[in-house]
Amino acid sequence: MAGKDDYQDFKVALNDLKLNSKPLINFLTILAEEKMHNAPQIVRAIEERIIETKGEHVLPTLYVLDSIVKNLRSSVYVQLFETKLPV
């Protein structure tokens, strides 16, 4: 059940991200690192946020994705994002 909790927690934190807030982006990246065992749920939350969000709120979520991929480079996140994003 922890996977569902991690998904919900990450989704709630993403919903708080309304503008380019480096502290919140860093927090989400650290959270993703701590919850790496539930990486598929975290990736799903990010993908859903990108699809569901309109206008200027999409870019901060893309910054989260970018931060996770750059800072957790050797992690499962890169592989999970690669399956959905064009290379």
Report pLDDT for 2.
60
Which residues, at least 6 apart from 20, have a Cβ–Cβ distance to it below 8 Å? 59, 60, 63
Indicate the pTM of the whole model: 0.88
What residue ranges do the domains of the chain occupy? 7-83
Say how far apart CA 62 and CA 60 lie, in whole Å: 5
Q: pLDDT tens across 31-74, in order?
A: 999 999 999 999 999 999 998 988 888 999 999 999 999 999 87
Answer CATH for 7-83 from 2.60.120.200, 1.10.540.10, 1.25.40.90, 3.20.20.70: 1.25.40.90
